[in-house]
Amino acid sequence: MKTILLTGAAGFLGSHVLKKLLEKNFNVIAVKRTATDIKRIKDISARVKFYDIDKLNPEKIYKENKIDIIIHTAVCYGRNNETADEVELSNIVFPLKLFELGMKNGVKLFINSDTFTKPDYGRLKYYTLTKKHFTEWLQILKDKTIVYNLVIHQMYGDADNDDKFIPFVIKNMLKNVKSLDFTKGEQKRDFIYIDDVCDAFIKVIENHNNKVGFNQFEIGTGKSTSIKEIVLLIKKISGRKDVLLNFGALPYTQNEEMNIKAKTDDILKELKWKYKTTINDGLLKTFNWYKENMEY
């Protein structure tokens, strides 16, 4: 069975990818920082070999293990007042080091999680800029191995970060707040359920071509749904008829794009991947998870 080196295993995306990999009986090695909170994966951590990347030279990982595949999901959003160079270190320097060491040690496949947002996007501009630059590095180094760059649209699901949009709305509905402020909510995004995103990673592992080079696919439903529609769906699921939704109380983010959706024809054709979860079913599953895990 192949051995996979996974970054970001304790994060939202990485934790779900990890669970899917273990379900498929892959041998998984995960890198993390010493202080990383692993509550998302505490119940399965015994099945994973961890390396604290801030305590060792990454070369040690390759000396002790034969790595077949690298999956990179670790990310620094810059939401905790990280400096520009700290974001760059996490989003470019660190994964580039793993990539180059991997190529020297016979890694056959590198899968990168990328973002659909543009580099000038509001408060996340450090994050989006560095993600774009790392993708450019992968394109330059494409002759070294098989690279798959997965441009993931607005993913959601259980155990997401509290500062994300959908968990924020769900938790406030469950807390019985009297009102919530939003923008007008006319902006549309392609919302994709986390289980479907993880299935895309598995499809790449199982069905990728064996040609050295750079491949890029967008991961989404191919449909866009407005923020207002999402909020109203969550309100309906919650049964909260009393909560006041103040659409238009907040301004739009700087350089906000109003309609974004994934182009999924290529990944359907080449990897036979397509989303399975409707927005209604995905939101219901997510809401019920938070309802049962409010202390999370």
For residues 261 and 190, is the Cβ–Cβ distance under 8 A? yes
For residues 131 and 76, is the Cβ–Cβ distance under 8 A? no
Confidence at residue 175, expressed as pLDDT on a 0 to 100 scale? 93
pLDDT tens-digit series, residues 19-34: 999 999 999 999 999 9
For residues 6 and 71, is the Cβ–Cβ distance under 8 A? yes
Confidence at residue 214, expressed as pLDDT on a 0 to 100 scale? 98
Residue 190 scores a pLDDT above 70: yes
Say how many CA atoms lie within 13 Å of 47 toward its Cβ: 18
Q: Which residue has the tokens 């320097």?
A: 93
Give the strand pairing for 49-52 and 27-32. parallel
Confidence at residue 80, expressed as pLDDT on a 0 to 100 scale? 87
Q: How confident is the model at residue 121 (pLDDT cuts 50, 70, 90)?
A: low
**CATH of segment(s) 1-152:** 3.40.50.720
| Average pLDDT value for residue range 46-51 | 97
pLDDT tens-digit series, residues 74-96: 999 988 889 999 999 999 999 99
Q: Which of 127, 148, 156, 290 is catalytic?
A: 127
* Residue 127 annotated in active site: yes
Residue 98 scores a pLDDT above 60: yes
The number of beta carbons lying within 10 Å of the beta carbon of residue 248 is: 12
Confidence at residue 124, expressed as pLDDT on a 0 to 100 scale? 83
| Average pLDDT value for residue range 39-63 | 95
Confidence at residue 295, expressed as pLDDT on a 0 to 100 scale? 66
Residue 254 scores a pLDDT above 90: no
The mean pLDDT of the chain is 95
Residue 296 scores a pLDDT above 60: no
Domains of the chain, by residue range, sit at: 1-152
pLDDT tens-digit series, residues 192-234: 999 999 999 999 999 999 999 999 999 999 999 999 999 999 9
DSSP 251: P
Contacts of 121 (CB under 8 A, 6+ apart): 128, 253, 254, 255
Closest CA to 284 of 242, 230, 223, 220: 230
How many H helices and E strands in the chain?
Answer: 10, 13
| Average pLDDT value for residue range 236-263 | 95
